Amino acid sequence: QVQLEESGGGVVQPGGSLRLSCKASGLTFNGYAMGWFRQAPGKERDFVASINWLGGYTTYADSVKGRFTISRDNSKNTVYLQMNSLKPEDTAVYYCARGRAAVASFLRDGYQYWGQGTQLTVSS
């Protein structure tokens, strides 16, 4: 079964930290870029972060730059999103996705496979 499974979501207070994980199975992981997107209620699914297949180049949305860090462990077919200094506006369902190529994209169409998402709620 082709699967991208996110985990690590939950409820956290403003200023807190959380790490999301995405495990890939049944599909090729090495050789492809990976990305994280998020979708808040009533909003579009927006780009958060991406990483090329070797992990040497990362990009971030302006809203999370300096607070979030994307990384990957190719030996474990896993991509991570470390989220620090969380804000209420970070509340959303977070999705991981595998790119269509080795080079990362900030566009949804640049990704071929998607996980089911994991909920992050930042609230006091």
Encode the chain (124 residues) as per-residue pLDDT tens digits.
Answer: 779 999 999 999 999 999 999 999 988 888 999 999 999 999 999 999 999 988 889 999 999 999 999 999 999 999 999 999 999 999 999 999 999 999 888 899 999 999 999 999 999 9
**Residue labelled with tokens 């199975």:** 25
Concatenate the DSSP letters of all residues of 4-41 into one string: EEEE--EEE-TT--EEEEEEEESS--TTS-EEEEEE-T
Q: What is the pLDDT of residue 26?
A: 87
Find, among 9, 33, 11, the residue nearest to 19 by Cα. 9
Q: What is the pLDDT of residue 89?
A: 96
